[in-house]
């Protein structure tokens, strides 16, 4: 039954996941082409100097992509469940309620995490062929909050959509915007590294939020 539930989630979201991969790949290919063009014109050593002196983070151009990916995947996965209250049928599967919601959230969370790891990992590995390890590490630690924002956005989107009443959905959306503002950071490389453990802790807590909406859904809130 676990495999059947996960397969159902895959059927709902497979094209959205492919779109996310494609958009990330195109965005990173664009940045790579710009770097390649600049290196031919001024040389890699000069680019090092510019990036280090001006605290440039190349992936800042893509910082909203993970957040949008999390929201889109959450919509694709959970909106169908709320159409004509199909989620009620899902909760009647021969699995515990907690297991059902955990499997659904774990599927989307893992799919996003895999997409981010593959896309960002390949891109940073490619950059490591021409840039020092310290620079790559600084870029990674600076963009990590943006990737965590995508995961948080996914969980918060699920929380909002599974909420059965529109008034509470609006309140949830306002709270979600305030929480996501903590993840979308601006600053020099490594400036927000001390915040990473707290952001990871927040992600763990956000896993509990959809459970609140499900409890209200089962109570028949309208």
User: What is the rounded distance in angstroms from the CA atom of residue 38 to the CA atom of residue 44?
Assistant: 8
User: Which pTM value belongs to this model?
Assistant: 0.88
Tell me the pLDDT of the chain (222 aa) as tens digits.
677 778 888 988 999 999 998 988 888 888 778 777 766 666 666 666 666 666 666 677 788 899 999 999 999 999 988 876 677 776 666 677 778 888 889 999 999 999 998 888 888 887 777 777 777 777 787 788 888 999 999 999 999 998 888 899 999 999 999 999 888 766 556 666 778 888 889 999 999 999 888 888 777 665
CB 13 within 8 A of CB 114: no
């Amino acid at each position: 039954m676990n495999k059947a539930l996960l397969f159902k989630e895959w059927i709902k979201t497979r094209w959205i996941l492919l779109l996310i991969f494609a958009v990330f790949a195109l965005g990173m290919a664009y940045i790579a082409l710009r770097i390649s063009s600049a290196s031919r014109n001024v040389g890699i050593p000069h680019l090092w100097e510019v990036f280090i002196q001006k605290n440039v983070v190349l992936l800042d151009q893509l910082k909203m992509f993970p957040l949008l990916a999390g929201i889109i995947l959450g919509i694709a996965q959970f909106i169908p469940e709320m159409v004509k209250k199909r989620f009620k049928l899902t909760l009647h599967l021969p699995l515990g309620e907690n297991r059902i919601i955990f499997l659904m959230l774990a599927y989307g969370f893992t799919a996003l995490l895999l997409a981010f790891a593959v896309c960002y990992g390949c891109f940073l590995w490619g950059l490591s062929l021409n840039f020092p390890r310290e620079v790559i590490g600084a870029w990674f630690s600076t963009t990590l909050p943006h990737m965590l924002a995508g995961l948080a956005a996914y969980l918060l989107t699920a929380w909002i959509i599974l909420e059965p009443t529109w008034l509470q959905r609006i309140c949830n959306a306002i709270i979600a915007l305030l929480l996501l503002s903590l993840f979308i950071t601006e600053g020099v490389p490594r400036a927000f590294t001390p915040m990473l453990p707290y952001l990871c802790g927040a992600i763990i807590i956000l896993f509990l939020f959809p459970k609140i909406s499900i409890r209200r859904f089962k109570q028949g809130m309208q």
